[in-house]
Amino acid sequence: MGYDLNLDGKTAIVTGGSGGLGRIVTRALAQAGASVVVASRQLSASEAVVREMVDYEVFACPLDVTDRSSIEAMANRVLDRYGHIDVLINNAGISPFAASMANTRADGMKKLFEVNVVGALECAQVCAPAMISIGAGSIINMASSAAAVGIEGLGAYAVSKAALIKLTEQLAGEWGPKGIRVNAIAPGFMGVGVANFVQGNTDFMAPVLERTPLGRVGNPHEIAGAVVFLASDGASYVTGQTLYIDGGVSRW
């Protein structure tokens, strides 16, 4: 039982599920047997994900993580359709600008926290009662290795992801007694993701890759196994942890 990575019978929500990483996470969860809800602001893009995965139980639902009523409406639709919520992947996130902290505007920082931290908190708050009612649940927050290493120009984003890691630890402590496990995954630079705008910048990426032990950006598929593991009963004694999937850059 402790090694069971099968997600048959479980319902999983992936926020920001229509993006590149969200698509891959959705497919991995569906292949493991879960019914997966692709939740994002772009319903047409979420529906395209559903069409790509016709062999699996995948459902599109509109969601704005900055709007509590939208989160509640999404959760109610999921409960009406499936009757339970077992897994929440807080994947929705933004990294809309590159700037030094000296040049970071307050409104930019507020927007980052609104989506990357408060949005994750409110999704967790809304979904937690359904998990508590069955005495089990797994919440996985998508953080970033930027939370652990200094990256010029991404300071505000890094601060928001460091806050998300601390939120993960706090929720794990508070909700563990209720049967909910809360963990985070901290990817490094991936082939897709919120930092796409820097990946074509050789001047930016060259020093990052130089200090990365594996010497390359990650493949988004390299996140999938970790998501399935943390969502499954195979990780039944794992909570409050952050798994860095970053080629070793955060530890070198």
Residue with tokens 């993701």: 193
- Give the residue with greater pLDDT, 56 vs 199: 56
Taking 60 as the threshold, does the pLDDT of residue 1 lie above it?
Answer: no
The upper half-sphere exposure of residue 50, i.e. CA atoms within 13 Å in the direction of its Cβ, equals 18
Q: Are 25 and 91 in contact (CB under 8 A)?
A: yes
Across the range 43-56, mean pLDDT stands at 96
Q: Which amino acid is at 37?
A: V
Taking 70 as the threshold, does the pLDDT of residue 19 lie above it?
Answer: yes
**DSSP β-bridge partners for residue 245:** 187
* DSSP state, residue 6: -
As a whole number of Å, the end-to-end CA separation of the chain is: 35
Q: Both tokens of residue 121?
A: 């908190």
82 catalytically annotated: no
Quote the pLDDT of residue 198: 63
- The tens digit of pLDDT for each residue in 134-157 reads 999 999 999 999 999 888 888 999
Phi, psi of 8 (to 5 degrees): -55, 135
Phi, psi of 150 (to 5 degrees): -80, 125
For each of the domains in the chain, give its residue range(s) and CATH number, in order of start. 11-243 (3.40.50.720)
The single residue of 3, 157, 237, 244 carrying the catalytic annotation is 157
- The tens digit of pLDDT for each residue in 69-97 reads 999 999 999 999 999 999 999 999 998 88
* Cα 83–chain centre separation: 23
* DSSP state, residue 233: G
> pLDDT band at residue 240, thresholds of 50, 70 and 90?
very high
> pLDDT band at residue 3, thresholds of 50, 70 and 90?
low
Angle at 28 between CA 232 and CA 53, to 5 degrees: 130
Q: Are 99 and 23 in contact (CB under 8 A)?
A: no
Phi, psi of 66 (to 5 degrees): -90, 5
Quote the pLDDT of residue 38: 98
CB atoms within 10 A of CB 132: 14
Q: pTM of this prediction? A: 0.94
Q: Which amino acid is at 149?
A: V
Angle at 142 between CA 173 and CA 114, to 5 degrees: 85
Q: How far apart are CA 81 and CA 84, in angstroms?
A: 9
Helices (H), the chain: 20-31, 43-52, 68-82, 106-113, 119-134, 155-175, 196-199, 202-210, 221-231
